[in-house]
Amino acid sequence: MPQGRGSAGGQVTVVLWVAVLSLLLAQVAEAATYTVGDTRGWSFNMDSWPRGKRFRAGDVLVFKYNPLVHNVVAVNAAGYNGCSTPRGSRVLTSGKDRVTLARGRNYFICNSVGHCQSGMKMAIVAA
């Protein structure tokens, strides 16, 4: 039986949209949420916390800390290695910050005086 003009094309378009939407939802559903430092929160000597965890782009880190004492700064490698805050760095100060990981290396420091130098910094690689 012949189909009307455009009916097959419309069905293909719907199938493609469903496939694209399914892929997007699957990526969102796979994202994990991690509380940095677990029950201890964002604190000193954080370099070991990421060990043994498998991070992916899109995963969310939750930084919990006392905002009167600490902060979270997303920095580049130079900022991480030198414990400095490069111009344009994102400084978070709520005490309950959520950061979505980008693919590759993600660096975080606390830029309160002496904190980064005392180990309040963390590097995470997200696949």
Q: What is the CATH number of the domain that holds 88?
A: 2.60.40.420
The reply to whether 6 falls in a domain is no
DSSP assignment letter at 40: G
pLDDT at position 106: 98
pLDDT at position 83: 98
Domain count, the chain: 1
Q: Which domain holds residue 78?
A: 33-126
The reply to whether 119 falls in a domain is yes
The reply to whether 84 falls in a domain is yes
pLDDT tens, N- to C-terminus, the chain (127 residues): 555 555 555 565 555 555 555 555 545 558 999 999 999 999 999 989 999 999 999 999 999 999 999 999 999 999 999 999 999 999 999 999 999 999 999 999 999 999 999 999 999 999 9
Contacts of 108 (CB under 8 A, 6+ apart): 61, 63, 72, 73, 74, 75, 80, 99, 121, 122, 123, 124
Please check whether residue 62 is in contact with residue 35, taking contact to mean a CB–CB distance below 8 angstroms.
yes
| Full-model pTM | 0.77
